[in-house]
Structure 1
Amino acid sequence: MIRYDVLDALPVRSVLPALADALAGDGTAVLVAPPGTGKTTLVPLVLAGLAGLAGDYPARRVLVAEPRRIAARAAARRMAWLLDEKPGESVGFTVRGERVVGRHTRVEVVTTGVLLQRLQRDQELAGVDAVVLDECHERHLDADTAAAFLWDVRQALRPELHLVAASATTDAEGWARLLGGAPVVEAAGTAHPVEVVWAPPVRPVRPPDGMLVDPTLLTHIASVVRRALAEQEGDVLCFLPGVGEIARVAGQLGELGEVDVLQVHGRAPAAVQDAVLAPGERRRVVLATSVAESSLTVPGVRVVVDSGLAREPRVDHARGLSGLTTVRASRAAGRQRAGRGGREAPGTVYRCWPEAEDGRLPAFPAPEIKVADLTAFALQAACWGDPDASGLALLDAPPGGAMAAARNVLSAVGAVDSAGRATRLGVRLGRLGVHPRLGRALLDTSGAGAEAVALLSEEAPRDYGDDLAAALRRARRGGDAYARRWAAEVRRLRSASSGLSSPSAPNEHLRVGAGTAEGADERLTGLVAALAFPERVAKLDGGSYLMASGTRAEVADGSALRGAPWIVVAVADRPTGKGHARVRLGAAVPEEVALAAAGALLGEHEEVRWAEGDVVARRIRRLGAIELTVRPLKDADPTLVRDALLEGLRQDGLGLLRWSREAEVLRQRLAFLHAHLGEPWPDVSDDALHARAEEWLEPELGRARRRSDLARTDAGQALARLLPWANGEAARLEELAPERITVPSGSRIRIDYQDPERPVLAVKLQEVFGLRRTPTVAGVPLLVHLLSPAGRPAAVTSDLASFWTDGYRGVRAELRGRYPKHPWPEDPTAAEPTRHTTARLRR
C-alpha cells in the first residue's frame, strides 16, 4: 500500500509538473530542492511511474546515483518503504560489494562509482530510461565524471535518455549550461528558523594537522553536546570530520541516562544506519560525518552541534602523497548543517568556532577535481576515449599538473600507451573498481593479494594500527562493520580478478612463498604495497626512512614497523610545518622483494660532485633516491670532474685557488679599470669570474682532479688570460693602472687599488714637496695619504694644491716639533723633495 499521506506532504511534489515539462522538452533538467523535500525519494518514483500519482510517467527504468554507499542504501530503503515494499522489489540498490535488486526492479540506486563502471562496460546504458545524479553540489569527482560521460551518451548515442542533476544547493546555472541549457526547476523547502549559538572553546586549540584534530577541541565539542541536551529539546545531530573523532566524542559522552548515542558514517553497520534514519523511542545524540549534511535525513533533530571541520582529499605531488586531510568546513556546508536543525520545527545550531572567524571560512568546498589524486579519473577518461579529458563536459577542468602526474602513474603501471590511450591492461584495471595502483598489484599477484588490496582500498579503523600485516589479521578475525565490508570486498576482488593476470611475467622474488602463516602475511602485505607504491619503498636511514621518491618518513613510537630495515609506506600524511611524512599505514618488506617490486627504479650510475670541500667520485647503485651500494670511482669522466670543480668554486669561493700578492693586485687593478673605463677591461667580481671560469681557468681545470690541484693553480697567471689581448689594450695596463708611481723624491710608491672607486697613494709628506697637482691614473685622481716621517697618517687629500695652501700649515705646526730632524719648509711647493733627514741633506 503506497503511503500517499507521506508522498502528499513532500514539498517537491509541487514542482513535479514543471519537472515533467522540462524533461518533455530536451530531456534534461536541473532540480534544486532543499534536504527533506523529497527530491531523492519521490522524484525517482514518479519518473519510474511507481508513485501512483496523477500525471505519473509511464513505466520506466530509472538509475539514481548517490555519492556514498550509506546514502544509496538509505534512499532505496526509504523509497521501498514509501511503496510498502522491501528493497529488491520495485526499488533496489547496488553498491560496491552488495547488490539488492530483483526482476521487477524499476528504480535502482547506485553509487557514482558503480555508475561509472556500468558506463565503461555499456556506454548506451541499455534498458535505462532516466538517470538522476543526486547531491551534485558536493562536487565529488565520480559524480562530475559520471555527468560528463552521460552527456556524451546523450549527445552521441542516446538522445532520448533523460538526465536530471539534483541538488540541495548548487551552481544551478553552471549545471544548466553543462547540460546544454537545461531548464532549472526549484522547489521550496519547509525549513523553520534556526537560532545560531556561538560556542567557541575557552582556550585556543591547535588547528587541524593532516588527519589529527586537537583532543582539546573534541573534549569541548562533547561538552557543547551536553550543554545542548540541557538547554534544548529534541534530538542532537553533531557533525564531526571523521570516524576517529566520532569514536572519541562518543567515548567522552559516556552514559547519558535516557539518551542514546548513535554513530553514523560510511562504515557504520546497516542496523545502526537504519536506527538513525527511523524515529527513535528515546532522545538521541547522533554523531555523524558530513554524510548527514544532505544525503541522509535524520528525523527528530532539533539541535545541531557543528565542529566546523570536514575531511577532504588532498594530494602532495612533490612528495607523492595523497589522502584525506582535515580542513575547516565551508560556509555553504555550515548552512547545510544548520538547516538540519530546522527541518521539522524551529531549531538551534551550536557552532564551535568564534563568530569573527566565520567570514574568513571558504565560501564553498573545493571541487574534488581541483584537489584530489586524478589517477583513477585519468584512467576513466582514457578508457572513455578522451585521454586528456579536454572533450568532457566538466564544470572545472582538471589541473594540468595533476593530470600529468596521473598519466605518469598510469604509464608506469602499463595502463596507457605513449599517446595516453588505454591499453588492454588499462581497460582491465579500469573495471576492477579500485585505484589503478592497487589493481595492478592485484593482477600481478594473480588475485592472491586480494586481502591486502581490499585493506588498502578503504581506510581501516585507526585502532587497527599502522602495520598492514597486523591490520590484515585483525580484519580476518571479524567482529566489526569494517571487517564485514572488507570480507565482502575480498570476495568481489577475487571474483573480478579471476582469470586475469598482469601481462608481465611474475618475478621469482615476487612470489609469496611458504613459511608460517604470520610470515606469509608479512610477505604478502609487503609485496602488494610495494607493487602498488614502488616509489614509496623505504629504507631505514638514521632515525627515519628514506623513500625511493626522495621523501623522508617517520613511524610512530611503539609501531611494529619501527626498526624494520625496509618498509613500504602505503598511507602517509605530512604534519604541518614538518618536512617528513608521517606513516599511517605501512608494511615491512624483505629487501629482495622491495628491489624486485620497485625494479623500474633501480639504476647504477657514476656520481661526481663537490661535497665536504672536495671532489667526490663514486659509482652508486640506487633504488630511486635510496643508495644501495657505493664504490669509489677512480677513472671519473673528466667532464664530470670539471663540473664538480666549478661547483666547488661556486660553493666555497675563489679562495680555493692560490692567490699570491701579485695576483690579488692584478685583480684589484682590473676591477679599477672596469669600474672607470668599462669594456674591454673585464669584470672580475666573484659572480663574473664564476660565469667565465671555463674561459680563464683553462687549461688548469682540464688538469685538476681535486681540491689540492686547485690550490696549486696560480690565480694571477690564469687571470691574465682575461686581459684584452685581442685589440692590444692589454699592453696599456701599466699605463692606465700602474702598480707603482714615481713621486718627486724618486721613490716608486705602490698604489693601493682595494677600493676601485678611489685608489690610494700612501706616501711620506717630504717626498712630494714640489708636487703641485694630485697624481691621476686613468684620469682618476688618487686619494693621497700623506704620512709622517714615522709612516703614520698625517693628512688625507685628493687635491694637493688646496692642501699646500690650506692644510699644510697646521700639519707643519703639529709635526715639526715631533720630528725636528726632518725638513719642514714654509713653502713646500718650492722645496726639494727628500726621503732623508735635514742632517743628511746638509752632508
Structure 2
Amino acid sequence: MIRYDALDALPVRSALPALTDALEGEGTSVLVAPPGTGKTTLVPLVLAGLVGDGPARRVVVAEPRRIAARAAARRMAWLLGERPGESVGFTVRGERAVGRHTRVEVVTTGVLLQRLQRDQELAGVDVVVLDECHERHLDADTVAAFLWDVRQALRPELRLVAASATTDAEGWSRLLGGAPVVEAAGVAHPVEVVWAPPARPLRPPHGMRVDPALPAHVASVVRRALAERDGDVLCFLPGVGEIARVAGLLGELGGVEVLQVHGRAPAAVQEAVLSAGERRRVVLATSVAESSLTVPGVRVVVDSGLAREPRVDHARGLSGLTTVRASRAAGRQRAGRAGREAPGVVYRCWAEAEDGRLPAFPTPEIKVADLTSFALQAACWGDPDASGLALLDPPPGGAMAAARSALTAVGAVDGAGRATQTGARLARLGVHPRLGRALLDTGGDGAPVVALLSEEVPREYGDDLAGALRRARAGGDAYGARWAAEVRRLRAVSAGSARPPARDGAVRVPPGAGDDRLAGLVAALAFPERVARLDGGSYLMASGTRVELAEGSGLRGAPWIVVAVADRPAGRGHARVRLGAAVDEDVARAAAGALLGERDEVCWAGGDVVARHVERLGAIELAVRPLKDAGPALVRAALLDGLREEGLGLLRWSPEALGLRQRLAFLRAHLGEPWPDVSDDALHARVDEWLEPELGRARRRADLARIDAGQALARLLPWAGGEAARLEELAPERITVPSGSRIRIDYRDPERPVLAVKLQELFGLRETPAVAGVPLLVHLLSPAGRPAAVTADLASFWADGYRAVRAELRGRYPKHPWPEDPATAEPTRYTNARLRR
C-alpha cells in the first residue's frame, strides 16, 4: 500500500509541475533541490507514473555509489509498500534486483555506462535521472555526455534530468542545451554551526596520510556532541582507516551504538544505518553518507573537513586516492544531514577563519584522475580524443596522452586511437583496462587477483598481494564476501571470450599455480612498468621510480617485486609500496617484455666518459659489460654532456686563451655583431663551429684537457668580414702608457676593463685611456704596486685627488718623484736617483 502520508510530506512536490512542464517542452531539466526534499525518491516515482496521474514510463536513476543506489531503491519500494525488484529495482556491480514489472531502476553510473556501450539507444528507457551530479565523478560526467549524444543523434524523445542539492546549475543547463532550471524550496530545518578546531594546528594531509592527532580530536568532538546535544551523531571521516581509528578511540560509550559506514561495510550494517535504532547511535561514515541517504534520527553532524579524491602522479607513474580538504559544497551537504528531520547542529573540526579558503566545489575527477578508462570509453563511443563530447570540463591533454599510451600498450586502441576488438571487450569488463587485459591474458584464471586490485584492499590485509589473496579467500568479513562475488562476476564476463592476441612476452598462468605465483603474474601483466628489482635499500621500478617497503613488510628481501599500489609519504624521496607481490625474474622479463632491450650506452659519469653495453628492463640494468669500441657519435655526445655538467674548464685555458675570451666578451657587450657571444651557453650551442676537429678526436677527460681553448676559440673570430684583423686595434691585450711601458688590460669585467699602472707612469696624461671608445677604469698604483686610487676621469684626479695621494705617499716613498703638477710632469717608471743619472 502506497504511503501517501510520507509522499505528501516531501517538499519537492511543489516543484513537480515545473519539472514535468520542462520535460514535456524541452525534454531536459536541471533540478536543484535541498537534501531531504525527496528529489531522489519522489521525483522518479512521479516521472514513472507510479505516483500521481502521469503516463507510465520506464525511468533509470543513476547514482554515483552502490550504497546510495541500493538505499534509494529500497526507500522508493518502501514508499510504494513493496519490496525491491517489483515496481522499483536496482542494479549495481555484482547485485541485481529487477523484475518484469519494474518501472524505476536505480543503477550506479558505472553500470549505466556499460549499458550505453552495449545499447546506445538505451531501448525501452524513457527518462534518465542523473542524481547527485554535483559530485563530478568521472563516470557520471561521461554518462551525461553519452546521453546527450544519444538524445541529439538517436533518440530526441529521451528525457534527461540532472539533479543535485548543490551544483553548478547554469553549467549543467548549458551542457544540456539550455535545459530549464527548476528549483525546489526545501523545508530545511535550521542547522547551528559550532566551530571546533583542534587546540594546536594539524599537519596538512599528504597522500593517504593524515595527522595522527586528527582521529583523536574528532573522537573528542564526538564525545562533546553526545554530551551537549540530543539525537544520533553522524561523523564524516575521509576513509576506512580513520573510521576504524576513531571507533577504537571512542570505545564503549555506555548505551550508544557505534556503526561504521563505508563502501566496504557489510550489507547488514548499511541496512541498520538506514533504519531507526532503539539505542542512540554514532555513525562514522565516509563521503558515501553525504547525499542520497537519509540516516534517521540524526540531529548532530561532526565533520572532520577531509575527503578522499583520486589523483595521478604522472612523474612517478602512480595513481590512487589522496586526502584533501573537503569543499564548501560538501560541507553544506554534510551539515544538511543534521537538519533533515528536525533542527540540528554541525560541529566543524576546523576554525571559522579557514572556511572561506576552502574550494567552492569538489575537484572534477576528469581534471585529476587517471583517464585510461575514460579514454577507452570515449574510443569505444567513437570519439577517441573526446573532443565531441559534451563535458563541463575538457580532459587535460597530458592525461589523455598518457591514457592513450597505456591503451596502446594493452592493445585496446590502434594507431589512430580507435578502439580495437580487444578494446571493446575490455570496455565491457567493468574494471580498469590494465586489469581487464591481465584478466583476458590469463583466460579468467587471474580473476581472484583482478578482483582484489579493482578496489581498495583493507589495510589490515597487509602489503603482500598473495597474502591478501589468501585472506580474502578465507572469507569471514564483508570484504571477503564482496570479493568472492566479484570473482564470480569476472569469471562470468570473461568466460567464452577468445583470448586477445598475445602481447610480446605475454605470460600464461601455469596449471596449478599457487597464490604467490598467480598474484605476481597478474600484477605484472597489469603493471609491467612497475616490476622492480632490489637495489640497495630500495627497489627500482622499470619506470624509473624508486619505491620502499614498510617496516615489517612480508615482501622484504624479495629480489624482484611488482608494485600494484603505492603512495608518496610526506617528506620522502621514494614512493612507498602499499600492495605488491614477489615475482621471479623470468616473470618480470616476460611481463615487461616491451621494455626489454640492449644497447650501447656511452655517458659522462663520475667525471669521465663511461662506455658500456647494457641490457635493460626499462630503467633496471640487468647486465653490463665494458664497451671497448664505442661509436664516435656516442663518445662525442658524452663529452658534450661532460662539458655542460662540469663547464668549459675541462679544456686547457692558458692565460692568453682566457684573455682572448674576455676581450671577445668585451667587444660583444659594446659593439655587438659580428663579434661572437662567448658565454657558456653560446659556446655550447656553437660547439661544432669552434671545437672541431679537436672534440672529434677526443675519447676521454684527459683528451679534453689537452685541447688548446684559445686556438679553438679563434675560429669564432669574424674572419669573413675582415673584422678579425681589428681585434688588436679595438681590444688590445696591452696599451702603451706615457712612460713607455706596455701594460696589460684586464677585461674580466666586460662593462669596464681595468688598467692597473703605477701612478708615476701616467704623469702628463690628461685624458683617460680608452679601448673601442670605452674609457678604462684606471687603478693608480703606489711605487710598491698597491692601489693608491681608482678613477675613470684622469684629468679630474690630477686636479683634485692627486694632492691627497701625494701627501699620504710622498713620505713613505721619498725616492720616487711626487711633482706638484702631475699633469705637466715627465712620466717615469724609475726612482729619483735613476732619473738623475
The two structures have a TM-score, normalised by structure 1, of: 0.93
Query: 555, 567, 576: which is aligned to 1:561?
Result: 555
Alignment of 1:218-617 (within 5 A): 218-505=215-502, 510-513=507-510, 520-617=514-611
Contact 1:63 1:131 in 2 (8 A): yes
Partner of 1:38: 38
Q: 2:733, 2:795 → 1: CA distance? A: 24
Which secondary structure state, in structure 2, belongs to the residue aligned with residue 196 of structure 1? Answer: strand
Q: 2:244, 2:189 → 1: CA distance? A: 31
Q: 1:74, 1:801 → 2: CA distance? A: 97
Q: Deviation at 1:96?
A: 0.7
Residue segments in structure 1 that go unaligned for 5+ positions in a row: none
Deviations 1:517-550 (A, max 9, x none): 7xx2111111111111112222222222222222
Would you say 1:89 and 2:83 are equivalent positions? no
Change (3 A) 1:8 1:611: same
Deviations 1:729-777 (A, max 9, x none): 3333344444444556655444444444555555556666666766554
Change (3 A) 1:158 1:744: closer
Would you say 1:129 and 2:126 are equivalent positions? yes
Partner of 1:644: 638
Deviations 1:436-466 (A, max 9, x none): 1100010011111000000000111111111
Q: Deviation at 1:785?
A: 5.2
Q: Deviation at 1:358?
A: 0.9
Change (3 A) 1:673 1:149: closer
Which secondary structure state, in structure 2, belongs to the residue aligned with residue 557 of structure 1? Answer: coil
Would you say 1:16 and 2:16 are equivalent positions? yes
Which secondary structure state, in structure 2, belongs to the residue aligned with residue 160 of structure 1? Answer: coil
Q: Deviation at 1:311?
A: 1.3
Partner of 2:111: 114
Which secondary structure state, in structure 1, belongs to the residue aligned with residue 189 of structure 2? Answer: coil
Q: Deviation at 1:818?
A: 5.9
Aligned partner letter, 2:515: D
Which secondary structure state, in structure 2, belongs to the residue aligned with residue 197 of structure 1? Answer: strand
Q: 1:467, 1:270 → 2: CA distance? A: 27
Deviates more, 1:359-368 or 1:436-445: 359-368
Q: Deviation at 1:219?
A: 1.0
Q: 2:40, 2:795 → 1: CA distance? A: 101
Partner of 1:167: 164
Partner of 1:195: 192
Aligned partner letter, 2:37: T
Q: 1:501, 1:601 → 2: CA distance? A: 26
Q: 2:822, 2:199 → 1: CA distance? A: 86
Change (3 A) 1:500 1:781: same
Q: 2:789, 2:392 → 1: CA distance? A: 80
Contact 2:507 2:525 in 1 (8 A): no
Contact 1:450 1:490 in 2 (8 A): yes
Change (3 A) 1:178 1:725: closer
Deviates more, 1:607-616 or 1:492-501: 607-616
Partner of 2:628: 634
Partner of 2:173: 176
Aligned partner letter, 2:588: A
Partner of 1:709: 703
Aligned partner letter, 1:403: M
Q: 1:791, 1:234 → 2: CA distance? A: 93
Aligned partner letter, 1:163: L
Which secondary structure state, in structure 2, belongs to the residue aligned with residue 414 of structure 1? Answer: coil
Contact 1:766 1:823 in 2 (8 A): yes
Q: 2:22, 2:773 → 1: CA distance? A: 90
Q: Deviation at 1:94?
A: 1.3
Contact 2:505 2:592 in 1 (8 A): no
Contact 1:696 1:721 in 2 (8 A): yes
Q: 1:182, 1:137 → 2: CA distance? A: 16
Change (3 A) 1:731 1:163: closer
Deviates more, 1:595-604 or 1:673-682: 673-682
Q: 1:794, 1:17 → 2: CA distance? A: 98
Contact 2:438 2:522 in 1 (8 A): yes
Contact 2:505 2:593 in 1 (8 A): no
Aligned partner letter, 2:413: V
Q: Deviation at 1:274?
A: 1.2
Deviations 1:63-96 (A, max 9, x none): 2221111111112222222233222223222111
Q: 1:810, 1:192 → 2: CA distance? A: 91
Q: 1:757, 1:182 → 2: CA distance? A: 68
The percentage of counterpart residues that share the same residue type is: 85
Q: Deviation at 1:586?
A: 1.3
Change (3 A) 1:713 1:247: same
Q: 1:99, 1:840 → 2: CA distance? A: 116
Change (3 A) 1:597 1:716: same
Contact 1:243 1:265 in 2 (8 A): yes
Partner of 1:143: 140
Q: 2:422, 2:550 → 1: CA distance? A: 37
Q: 2:340, 2:801 → 1: CA distance? A: 98
Aligned partner letter, 1:463: E
Contact 2:441 2:508 in 1 (8 A): no
Q: 1:229, 1:682 → 2: CA distance? A: 79
Deviations 1:650-690 (A, max 9, x none): 22222211122332333344344444444433343444433
Partner of 1:691: 685
Q: 2:795, 2:183 → 1: CA distance? A: 96
Deviations 1:482-518 (A, max 9, x none): 1000000000000110122442337787233367x7x
Change (3 A) 1:667 1:272: closer
| Matched pairs, number | 837
Q: Deviation at 1:369?
A: 1.8
Deviations 1:214-259 (A, max 9, x none): 2211111111111111111111111111111111111111111211
Partner of 2:27: 27
Aligned partner letter, 1:689: L
Deviations 1:545-597 (A, max 9, x none): 22222222222111112232222211122234444222211111111111211
Change (3 A) 1:72 1:831: closer
Would you say 1:57 and 2:55 are equivalent positions? yes
Which secondary structure state, in structure 2, belongs to the residue aligned with residue 730 of structure 1? Answer: helix
The two structures have a TM-score, normalised by structure 2, of: 0.93
Which secondary structure state, in structure 2, belongs to the residue aligned with residue 510 of structure 1? Answer: coil
Contact 1:310 1:328 in 2 (8 A): yes
Deviations 1:292-327 (A, max 9, x none): 111211111111111111111112222222111111
Deviates more, 1:640-649 or 1:71-80: 640-649
Change (3 A) 1:461 1:809: closer
Q: Deviation at 1:39?
A: 2.3
Q: 1:136, 1:814 → 2: CA distance? A: 88
Deviations 1:19-73 (A, max 9, x none): 333333343333332222222222323333333x4x1423x33222211111111
Cα RMSD (Å): 2.8
Q: 1:114, 1:410 → 2: CA distance? A: 21
